Amino acid sequence: MTEKRSRFAIINLFKYAGKFKKYSILAPTFAALEVMFDILIPYLMAKIVDVGIANRDLNYMVRTGMLMVGATLISLVLGVYCAKFATISSAGFAMNLRRAVFNRLQRFAFPNIDRYTTASLVTRMTTDVQFIQQMFQMLTRMFVRAPMMMIMAVFMSLTINRELALVFLVAIPVLGSVFYFIISRAHPLFIKMLTKIDFLNRIVQENLIAIRVVKAFVRHEYENEKFEEAVTELRQAQLRAEKLVTINMPVMMIVMNSCIIAILWFGGNKIIVGEMLPGMLISFLTYTQMIMISLMLFSMVFIMFVISQASVHRVEEVLEEEPTFSDEDGDPNLTVKDGSIEFRHVDLSYAADKSNPVLSDINLSITAGEKVAIIGGTGSGKSSLVQMIPRLYEVTAGEVLVGGHNVKDYKFKPLRDAVAMVLQKNLLFSGTIADNLRWGNQEATEEEMIKACKVAQAHDFIMAFPDGYQTMLGQGGTTVSGGQKQRLCIARALMKQPKIIILDDSTSAIDTATEKKFQQAFRENYQGMTIVIIAQRLQSIQDSDKIIILDDGKVVDIGTHDELVERNLIYREVYESQQEGSLL
Amino acid sequence: MRHGGSMGRMGSGGKGGNPKEGRYYRSRAPMKTLKRLLKVMHEYRFRILLVVILNITSSLATVGNTYMLRPVINDYILPLVGKQSPDLSSFIGILAVMAGLAILAASCSFAAARIMIYVSSGTMKKIRTDLFSHVQKLPVSYFDSKQHGEIMSHFTNDTDTLRELISNALPNLISSVISITGVIVMMILLSWQLFLLVMVHMTLILFIIRTVGSRSSLFFRKNQGELAALNGYIEEMIEGQKVVKVFSYEEEAKARFDAMTENLYHVASKANLYAIVVMPILGNLSYLHYTLTAVFGAYLTIHGILDIGTIGAFLQYTRTFTQPINQISQQINTILMALAGAERIFDLLDEPIEIDEGKIRLVHAEYDANNQLVETSCDRGFCAWKEVKEGEVQLTKLDGDVRFNNVSFSYVPGQLVLDDISLYARNNQKIAFVGSTGAGKTTIVNLINRFYEITEGEITYDGINIQDIKKGDLRNSISMVLQDTHLFTDTVMENIRYGNLDATDEEVIQAAKLANADSFIRHLPNGYQYMITADGENLSQGQRQLLAIARAAVKNPEVLILDEATSSVDTRTEALIEKGMDQLMDNRTVFVIAHRLSTVRNSDAILVLEHGKIIERGNHEALLEMKGRYYQLYTGIFELS
pLDDT in tens, B73-107: 888 888 888 777 777 888 889 999 999 999 999 99
Residues of B in contact with A128 (CB under 8 A): 10, 13
Beta bridge partners of B559: B478, B589
Residues 6+ positions from B191 with CB-CB distance below 8 Å:
B297, B300, B306, B310, B314
CB A546 within 8 A of CB A559: yes
Residues 6+ positions from B248 with CB-CB distance below 8 Å:
A412, A413, A416, A417
C-alpha–C-alpha distance, residues B584 and B546, integer Å:
13
Contact (CB<8Å) B133/A227: yes
Q: Give the residue from B51, B247, B299, B631 with the most A CB atoms within 10 Å of its CB, the best one to mutate.
A: B247
Identity of the residue in B254, B542, B568 whose CB atom sits nearest the CB atom of A102: B254
Identity of the residue in B148, B253, B264 whose CB atom sits nearest the CB atom of A208: B148
Residue of A nearest to B98 (CA): A261
A366 min Cα distance to partner chain B (Å): 21
Ranges of residues in chain A with a pLDDT under 50 are 1-4, 580-584
Are B27-191+341-354 and B402-635 in the same CATH fold?
no
Beta bridge partners of B383: B364
CB A547 within 8 A of CB A560: yes
B422 min Cα distance to partner chain A (Å): 23
Averaged over B325-337, what is the pLDDT?
A: 75
Averaged over B445-471, what is the pLDDT?
A: 81
Running DSSP on this structure, what letter comes out for residue A410? B
C-alpha–C-alpha distance, residues B475 and A218, integer Å:
7
B317 min Cα distance to partner chain A (Å): 10
C-alpha–C-alpha distance, residues B345 and B131, integer Å:
8
Contact (CB<8Å) B269/A110: no
Give the residue from B41, B281, B306 showing the smallest Cα distance to B165.
B41
Q: What's the N-to-C CA distance of chain A in angstroms?
A: 58
Contact (CB<8Å) A268/B72: yes
pLDDT at A426: 73
Q: Give the residue from A33, A126, A202, A541 with the most B CB atoms within 10 Å of its CB, the best one to mutate.
A: A126
Identity of the residue in B129, B227, B498 whose CB atom sits nearest the CB atom of A227: B129
DSSP A375-401: EE-TTSSHHHHHHTTTTSS--SEEEEE
Does residue B48 sit in helix, strand or coil? helix
Please return the burial class of B210, using the count of CB atoms within 10 Å of its CB with bins 0-12, 13-18 and 19+. Answer: exposed
A:B CB pairs within 8 Å: 491
Contact (CB<8Å) A215/B475: yes
- CB atoms < 10 A from the CB of B586, how many? 9
Query: Which amino acid belongs to residue A497?
Result: Q
Contact (CB<8Å) B312/A281: yes
Residues of B in contact with A247 (CB under 8 A): 110
Contact (CB<8Å) B117/A296: no
Residue of B nearest to A293 (CA): B323
Residues of A in contact with B482 (CB under 8 A): 212-213, 216
Give the residue from B123, B133, B159, B134 showing the smallest Cα distance to B43.
B123
Residues 6+ positions from B493 with CB-CB distance below 8 Å:
B505, B508, B528, B529
CB A53 within 8 A of CB B302: yes
Identity of the residue in B12, B264, B479 whose CB atom sits nearest the CB atom of A95: B264
B211 min Cα distance to partner chain A (Å): 15
pLDDT at B570: 65
Contact (CB<8Å) B299/A120: no
Residues 6+ positions from A290 with CB-CB distance below 8 Å:
A38, A39, A42, A149, A150, A153
C-alpha–C-alpha distance, residues B592 and B563, integer Å:
6
Per-residue pLDDT band at B46 (split at 50, 70, 90) = very high
Torsion angles phi and psi, residue B609, rounded to 5: -105, 140
A151 min Cα distance to partner chain B (Å): 19
Q: Give the residue from B356, B488, B546, B569 with the most A CB atoms within 10 Å of its CB, the best one to mutate.
A: B488
Identity of the residue in A53, A126, A215 whose CB atom sits nearest the CB atom of B17: A126
Residues 6+ positions from A352 with CB-CB distance below 8 Å:
none
C-alpha–C-alpha distance, residues A198 and B568, integer Å:
31
Residues of A in contact with B487 (CB under 8 A): 210
A518 min Cα distance to partner chain B (Å): 13
A535 min Cα distance to partner chain B (Å): 9
Residues 6+ positions from A563 with CB-CB distance below 8 Å:
none
Cα-atom radius of gyration of chain A, to the nearest Å? Answer: 36
DSSP A318-348: HHH---SS-STTSBTT----S--EEEEEEEE
Contact (CB<8Å) A513/B636: yes
Indicate if the pLDDT at residue B8 is higher than 70.
Answer: no
Q: Pairing between strand B430-435 and B589-593?
A: parallel
DSSP B465-530: EGGGB-HHHHHHTEEEE-SS----SEEHHHHHHTT-TT--HHHHHHHHHHTT-HHHHHHSTTGGGP
Contact (CB<8Å) A253/B276: no
Query: Which amino acid belongs to residue A493?
Result: A
Does residue B617 sit in helix, strand or coil? strand
Give the residue from A193, A190, A219, A191 showing the smallest Cα distance to A206.
A219
Residue of A nearest to B75 (CA): A268
Which fold does the domain A341-579 belong to in CATH?
A: Rossmann fold (3.40.50)
CB A358 within 8 A of CB A397: no
Give the residue from A229, A236, A35 showing the smallest Cα distance to A142.
A35
Alpha helices per DSSP H over A143-277: 145-160, 162-209, 211-216, 220-245, 248-272
- CB atoms < 10 A from the CB of A377, how many? 20
Residues of A in contact with B242 (CB under 8 A): 110, 113, 392, 423, 425
Residues 6+ positions from B473 with CB-CB distance below 8 Å:
B358, B360, B361, B362
pLDDT in tens, B528-546: 878 777 666 667 767 777 8
pLDDT at A582: 40
Q: Is the four-CA dihedral A271, A275, A278, A281 of positive or negative sign?
A: negative
Query: Which amino acid belongs to residue A552?
Result: D
C-alpha–C-alpha distance, residues B28 and B25, integer Å:
9
pLDDT in tens, B231-252: 888 888 887 888 888 887 888 8
Q: Give the residue from B128, B245, B257, B629 with the most A CB atoms within 10 Å of its CB, the best one to mutate.
A: B245
Give the H or E element holding residue B430.
Answer: strand B430-435
Q: Where are the domains of chain A?
A: 341-579
Give the H or E element holding residue B148.
Answer: helix B148-153
C-alpha–C-alpha distance, residues A25 and A81, integer Å:
12
Please return the burial class of B555, using the count of CB atoms within 10 Å of its CB with bins 0-12, 13-18 and 19+. Answer: buried
Q: Give the residue from A93, A215, A387 with the most B CB atoms within 10 Å of its CB, the best one to mutate.
A: A215
B373 min Cα distance to partner chain A (Å): 26
Alpha helices per DSSP H over A143-161: 145-160
Does residue B435 sit in helix, strand or coil? strand
Residues 6+ positions from A459 with CB-CB distance below 8 Å:
A450, A453
How much of chain B, in percent, has pLDDT values that exceed 70? 87
Residue of B nearest to A245 (CA): B3
CB B376 within 8 A of CB B163: no
B288 min Cα distance to partner chain A (Å): 6
Identity of the residue in B72, B288, B568 whose CB atom sits nearest the CB atom of A69: B288
Per-residue pLDDT band at B567 (split at 50, 70, 90) = low
Could you tell me which CATH class the domain B27-191+341-354 is placed in?
mainly alpha
Identity of the residue in B231, B237, B437 whose CB atom sits nearest the CB atom of A481: B437
Q: Give the residue from B1, B12, B490, B632 with the most A CB atoms within 10 Å of its CB, the best one to mutate.
A: B12
Residue of B nearest to A189 (CA): B7
Distance of alpha carbon B626 from its chain centroid, rounded? 52
Contact (CB<8Å) A257/B133: no
Averaged over B444-473, what is the pLDDT?
A: 81
Contact (CB<8Å) A206/B65: no
Identity of the residue in A427, A481, A509 whose CB atom sits nearest the CB atom of B243: A427
C-alpha–C-alpha distance, residues A146 and A292, integer Å:
10
Residues 6+ positions from A45 with CB-CB distance below 8 Å:
A68, A279, A282, A283, A286, B290, B291, B294, B315
Return left, alpha or beta for A497; rule: phi > 0 is left, psi -120 to 50 is alpha, else beta.
left
C-alpha–C-alpha distance, residues B447 and B468, integer Å:
14
- Architecture of domain B402-635 in CATH? 3-Layer(aba) Sandwich (3.40)
Averaged over B182-199, what is the pLDDT?
A: 90
Residues of A in contact with B143 (CB under 8 A): 208, 211-212
Q: Where are the domains of chain B?
A: 27-191+341-354, 361-397, 402-635
B105 min Cα distance to partner chain A (Å): 8
CB-based contacts of B527-530 (< 8 A; 24+ apart in sequence)? B527/B492, B528/B491, B528/B492, B528/B493, B529/B491, B529/B492, B529/B493, B530/B491, B530/B492
pLDDT in tens, B138-172: 887 787 777 666 777 788 778 888 888 888 888 88
Residues 6+ positions from B172 with CB-CB distance below 8 Å:
B1, B2, B327, B331
Using H for helix, E for strand and C for coil, what is the string for B381-423? CCEEEEEEECCEEEEEECCCCEEEEEEEEEEECCEEEEEEEEE
Residues of A in contact with B167 (CB under 8 A): 242
Query: Which amino acid belongs to residue A329?
Result: D
Contact (CB<8Å) A49/B294: yes
pLDDT at A1: 36
Residues of B in contact with A483 (CB under 8 A): 639-641
